[in-house]
Structure 1
Amino acid sequence: MKINNKILVIDDNEDICTTIKSYMQNYGYDIKVALNYKEALKIINEGFNLIILDIMMPGMDGIEFCTLIREKVSCPIIFVSAKVLEEDKLEAFSVGGDDYITKPFSLKELKARIESHLRREQRIKNKEVYILSSGNIILDVFANEILCKGEKLKLTKKEYKLIKFLMTNKNIVFSKEKILDSVWGMNSESYLDTVTESVKNVRKKIRCIDKEKSYISTVYGQGYKWEVKDEK
């Protein structure tokens, strides 16, 4: 039996928590239980793969709790509730819920939904690319660094983001305005020279190591693109 996915069950009904925990542990899941939002907040950062969240809880209900944690927690959240109205379900989805099961529910159905969400998450992770290469450039997303001919480029944070943005969108032309917005989070024309200067600095740093290839091409009147000759 493999699995060992970590699941957090948040419900003020201790019997429900115990039942879910006992059932899911039989299938190899690592289950933690919290009977209220305070207990949940103490362990929320333990790296759970999925959260089962009751809506009607004292102190802070599930909707409020989901709103509080959603920006920091990316795992699937399955709401469980005795509320059956469509507007209740829509509210749960609007605050970041991924699924909604009404009480009473079948443990087999709950398990099936859990497994469905975990499979989807795994497919997404499998598609993520953490190492990109182009010409003699290697971008390591895990290490937040870029190598040129095996030598680490000494880049500012914005220069790193600039290369990453262009490199992950290879052969696509971006205007200075779009680059400024995507890399710097600004859209003021008065800062467009910042893009020009950064491109100039990046080119200079790359050419100090690799004089053979050109990576950031200027498309006059349009902007810049990442382009390596004879590379698709």
Structure 2
Amino acid sequence: MSAKILIADDEADIVSMLGSFFRRKGYVVLTAANGTETLKQVEHNPDIILLDICMPGLDGLEVCRHIRDYISCPILFLTARIEDTDKVKGFAAGGDDYIVKPFSLVELEARVKAHLRRETRHNFEAKIKFSSDLVIDYTERCLFFQGKRIGFAKREFDIVEFLSQNPGQIFDKERIYESIWGYDSEGDSSVVTEYIRRIRTKIAAYTDKVYIETV
């Protein structure tokens, strides 16, 4: 089945170029010219999203925050320039990668394929019982505590998955960042701290038992 890619950018030339390129590569292409259109196109369940940060109305960061709680597919930000502080904001909003304009179509396609491969691997995982009360469902990408569902954004669950598959081991934030975002990512490992905080907060709403420790 062809992967479905959503291209959201207010520059019509970029949308047209990327749309033609990915159609030739066999993708099903959805397009949007602003944040509002992006929110509507997300209803078609894309497998991956290319999201321009600077769009009129709702910008890319705001769109990402709106959809991250119910959309788990990879989100790659498109941007003309990027500072370290902007990267942290983007990753904290739920983004997975940055593509800086002007970009190589070959590199962009490689990044897209890499993220889709990771998603495919995730989809082959199964449900396991992690403890007497906590169940991790790797297919649905969520946790259940005593039968109650705990939803996670994509990167939050990626971290839960990584730590749960390496129980008892100690990792610094750089190691976690490299494992989740990839060695070639241009982001900052400090974003891991924020994700861990959010994961703990969600679990703490159901139990005071500590599943992720800082040592």
The reply to whether TM is greater than 0.5 is: yes
Taking the aligned partners of 2:58 and 2:81, their CA distance within structure 1 comes to: 16
Question: Cα deviations across residues 158-216 of structure 1 (Å, max 9, x unaligned)?
Answer: 97x28xxxxxx9xxxxxxxxxxx97x9255xxxxxxxxxxxxxxxxxxxxxxxxxxxxx
Mapping 1:131-170, distance limit 5 Å: 161=147
Taking the aligned partners of 1:35 and 1:23, their CA distance within structure 2 comes to: 17
Q: What value does the CA root-mean-square deviation take over the aligned residues?
A: 3.0
RCO higher in 1 or 2 (8 Å CA, sep ≥ 6)? 2
Match of 1:29 in 2: 27
SS in 2 for 1:4: coil
Mapping 1:45-84, distance limit 5 Å: 45-84=43-82
> What amino acid is the match of 1:116?
A
Mapping 1:179-190, distance limit 5 Å: 185=206
**Correspondent of 2:38 among 40, 47, 70:** 40
Question: Cα deviations across residues 85-125 of structure 1 (Å, max 9, x unaligned)?
Answer: 22222211111110001100011111000000000010111
Q: State the Cα distance separating 1:33 from its structure 2 match.
A: 0.3
> What amino acid is the match of 1:28?
G
Mapping 1:1-232, distance limit 5 Å: 3-129=1-127, 161=147, 185=206
Unmatched 5+ stretches in structure 2:
130-137, 149-163, 165-201, 209-215
Taking the aligned partners of 2:98 and 2:47, their CA distance within structure 1 comes to: 17
Show structure 1 runs of 4+ deviating over 4 A.
none
SS in 2 for 1:127: coil
Partners of 2:78 and 2:101 within 8 A in 1: yes
Taking the aligned partners of 2:45 and 2:7, their CA distance within structure 1 comes to: 13
Question: Cα deviations across residues 50-81 of structure 1 (Å, max 9, x unaligned)?
Answer: 00000011111111111111111110000010
> What amino acid is the match of 1:77?
I
Question: Cα deviations across residues 122-153 of structure 1 (Å, max 9, x unaligned)?
Answer: 011112349x9xxxxxxxx99xxxxxxxxxxx
- Number of residue-to-residue matches in the alignment: 146
Q: State the Cα distance separating 1:38 from its structure 2 match.
A: 1.4
